[in-house]
Chains A and B, each alone.
Chain A
Amino acid sequence: MRHTLAALVENKPGVLAKVAGLFRRRGFNIESLAVGITEKPQISRMTIVVDGDDKTIEQVTKQLNKLIEVLKVSDVTKNSVERELALVKVNATPQTRGEIIEIANIFRGRIVDVARDSFIIEITGDEDKINAFIDLMRQYGIKEVARTGKIAMQRGSKALE
Chain B
Amino acid sequence: MRAADAIVKALEKEGVKHIFGIPGGAIIEVYDALFDSEIVHILTRHEQAAVHAADGYARATGRVGVAFATSGPGATNTVTGIATAYMDSSPVVVMTGQVPRSLIGNDAFQEADITGITMPITKHNYLVTDEKELLRIIKEAFYIARTGRPGPVLIDLPKDVTIADIEFDYPEKVDLPGYKPKYAGHPRQIKRAAELIMKAERPIILAGGGVILSNASEELVKLAETIPAFVVTSLMGKGAIPETHPLSLGFIGMHGAKYANYAVQESDLIIAVGVRFSDRTTGKVSSFAPNAKIIHIDIDPAEIGKNVRVDVPIVGDAKLVLRELIKHIQYKRRKEWEDKVNEWRRKYPLRYKRDGKLKPQYVIEKLYELAPDAIVTTEVGQNQMWAAQYFKVKYPRQFITSGGLGTMGFGFPAAIGVKTAFPDKTVVDIAGDGSFLMNIQELATCVDYGIDVKVFILNNAFLGMVRQWQQLFYDERYSQTCLLCKEMSFEKIAEGFGAVGMTVERESEVEDAIKEALSIDAPVVVDFRVDRLENVYPMVPAGAALNEIIDEEV
Which A positions have Cβ atoms within 8 angstroms of B?
Answer: 9-10, 13-14, 17-18, 21-22, 25, 55, 58-59, 62-63, 65-71
Contacts and interface: CB of A to CB of B under 8 A. Distances in A.
Given A68-B179, A70-B178, A71-B178, A59 B306 contact: yes
Nearest to A14: B115
A55 B178 contact: no
B305 A21 contact: no
Given A55-B305, A58-B305, A62-B302, A68 B144 contact: yes
A14 B129 CA distance: 12
A161 B114 CA distance: 33
25 contacts: A10-B177, A13-B129, A14-B115, A14-B127, A17-B116, A18-B119, A21-B119, A21-B120, A22-B120, A25-B120, A59-B302, A59-B305, A62-B301, A63-B302, A65-B301, A66-B300, A68-B123, A68-B124, A68-B144, A68-B176, A68-B179, A69-B178, A70-B178, A71-B177, A71-B178
A73 to B, nearest CB: 10
A67 B301 contact: no
Interface of B: 115-116, 119-120, 123-124, 127, 129, 144, 176-179, 300-302, 305-306
B291 to A, nearest CB: 22
Interface residues of chain A: helix, strand, loop or mixed (majority): helix
A89 B329 CA distance: 70
A72 to B, nearest CB: 8
A17 B119 contact: yes
Contacts of B178: 9-10, 67-71
Contacts of B115: 14
Q: Please give me the 6 A-B residue pairs with the lowest Cβ-Cβ distance, nearest first.
A: A62-B302, A71-B178, A68-B124, A68-B179, A25-B120, A62-B301
A63 B301 CA distance: 9
A63 B304 CA distance: 11
A66 B119 contact: no
Given A14-B115, A21-B119, A66 B144 contact: no
Contacts of B116: 17
Nearest to B309: A55
Contacts of B123: 68
Contacts of A67: 178
Nearest to B301: A62
Contacts of A58: 305
Nearest to B153: A68
A60 to B, nearest CB: 10
Contacts of B127: 14
A18 B179 CA distance: 15
Contacts of A17: 116, 119
B144 to A, nearest CB: 7
Given A18-B119, A21-B120, A71-B177, 18 more contacts: A9-B178, A10-B177, A10-B178, A14-B115, A14-B119, A17-B119, A21-B119, A22-B120, A58-B305, A59-B305, A59-B306, A63-B302, A65-B302, A66-B302, A67-B178, A68-B124, A68-B144, A71-B178
A136 to B, nearest CB: 43
Contacts of B129: 13
Contacts of B305: 55, 58-59
A84 to B, nearest CB: 27
Contacts of B120: 21-22, 25
A4 to B, nearest CB: 20
A38 to B, nearest CB: 14
Nearest to A71: B178
